[in-house]
Amino acid sequence: MTRSRASPDGRIPDRDVAAKLVIIMVGLPARGKSYITKKLHRYLSWQQHNAKIFNVGNRRRVAAGMPNLPDASPTSAPHRHDVPSQAATILLNGTKGPDIVLEDEPTKLDLNGPGDGSEETMDQSAKFFDPNNTAASRLREQVAIDTLDELLAYLLHQGGAVGILDATNSTVHRRQLLVDHIKAREPKLGILFIESICHDENLLEANMRLKLSGPDYRDKDPIKSLQDFKQRVKAYESAYEPLGKWEESHDLQYIQMIDVGRKIVQHRLRGFLSGGIASYLTTFNLSPRQIWITRHGQSEDNRVNKLGGNSELTERGHFYGHALYKFITFKRKEWLIQQKNRIASSNFPPQPGDNTPPYPELNQELEDKNFCVWTSMLKRSGQTAEYFDADDDYDVKAWEMLNELNAGEFEGMTYEEIAAKYPEEYAKRAKDKLQYIYPGVGGEGYLQVISRLRDMVREIERITDHLLIIGHRSVCRVLMAYFMDLTRDDIADLDLPLGILYAIEPKPYGIEFHAYRYNEERGWFDELPNYKPRRTVDRNN
């Protein structure tokens, strides 16, 4: 997100088609392309870019007469969310509000047929992907171009800034076809290739196992399905041409991502957006870990509803910090036991009934995993971490980036006082909290918080340790918006009261998510089953 006088909201692509970007994924099956595209889409959307995924495989299945069912991967289990493809429902006053839906499913393709399953279904086994199968090759090529046309329509006519074409695109012929098609429609559009390469055999096996839960192999014998999928990969490998000489001779920018970010190769990257994407891709890791997010305990200013400031914790706030320390310590030990049990029950190749893929990096020394606690530089955040700071098993660090949104001239005031003394400012904020910036020296808005947390999010993605973030309302809202893939319209209104603790566990297919509420009487935390983000009912928050 960039802001200037010419673009005060940071949306340059609305004014300049040359700032729009077509991202073309490249790579053999089971190389993590969809995993990369979903995380990249989530990051770009969080950075306020209008971005959308266009998956060629979904169109291909429909074109071949297969039903394009929702993914029944492990994400369908309770508390497990493949965030980019699953709606997060906003509740307003306890009732269902508008769904926060990411539209990464392309419109179903009708190739001279009703598309209702009545037509003859084309074989979708490994034979379909044999480069010598001319009929299937023609169909795959047509589907790719039709999907690209939908992507271009999104960029050129529907306000899109970034379109991601998720497909193998494994030959120079296919990539040249796509580039020529894009340039014929709009030569000013930027093009970025991202190739996912995988050499790690454990990672490959885990990726292939994930595919068994996908629409091509659902409800089929897992052993036979794995064999068929490996044959499909061999069919692609026979004609596969990695990025390189052709792209370089045509001055095309590209990124090669090896073993999900362990190594990155870049060529001719141009512009802020491509550079930012490359930087983000270097942070990927599949290390099993937990990320916890909560607000600080009650402060003296909280008690009287004052904005900002740097007050101390109340006695209740200190109690919250102690309960948080006890609960996190308990959950840390519980997680270690669960991971060891998961390692003991992992099977390669998968056995009938298996549904959870093992981590490729699960066999590391789990006992040695560090636990970081990050606070802001403000007293109420640091004091909430005081019990962690006294325990050598935790590494506590204070970050200025995690400070609360600066209210400028209104620091130390209540919303009632602002409404009475500055009614115009109060009305401006109520109308558009996301775009609003507090007046005065140092005054910020939510877009500024998103901007300063960009590097923080990259660091969260990079580290392999467990992490607890003890933040503030605006900071926690912005971080939760990233992990839960919330839309820009919902970031500033996310209900995030004191005493709520969120647990996020990154998975190869998305995240596993839990929410807990502080039980003051018990000095403990109770899980909130089926928790979904919802809007605050207090317009002052």
Q: Has 476 been annotated as catalytic?
A: no
The answer for residues whose C-beta is within 8 angstroms of residue 331's C-beta and 6 or more apart is 290, 503
Which of 41, 198, 466, 514 does the annotation list as catalytic?
A: 198
DSSP 353: T
Rg (CA), the chain: 24
Which of 104, 166, 411, 512 does the annotation list as catalytic?
A: 166
Task: Name which of 253, 469, 491 is nearest 373 in CA terms.
Answer: 469
Which of 82, 205, 228, 404 does the annotation list as catalytic?
A: 404
Which of 247, 472, 485, 490 does the annotation list as catalytic?
A: 472
Q: Has 372 been annotated as catalytic?
A: no
Residue tagged 């971490």 (tokens): 385
Task: Name which of 150, 50, 67 is nearest 102 in CA terms.
Answer: 50
Q: Are 67 and 218 in contact (CB under 8 A)?
A: no
The answer for residues whose C-beta is within 8 angstroms of residue 40's C-beta and 6 or more apart is 23, 164, 194, 277, 280, 281
Angle at 54 between CA 118 and CA 280, to 5 degrees: 150
Alpha-carbon distance of 122 to 320, in angstroms, equals: 60
What is the DSSP secondary-structure string of 451-515? HHTHHHHHHHHH--SEEEEEE-HHHHHHHHHHHHT--TTTGGGB---TTEEEEEEEETTEEEEEE
Task: Name which of 98, 152, 533, 454 is nearest 275 in CA terms.
Answer: 454
Residue positions annotated with a catalytic role: 166, 198, 404, 472
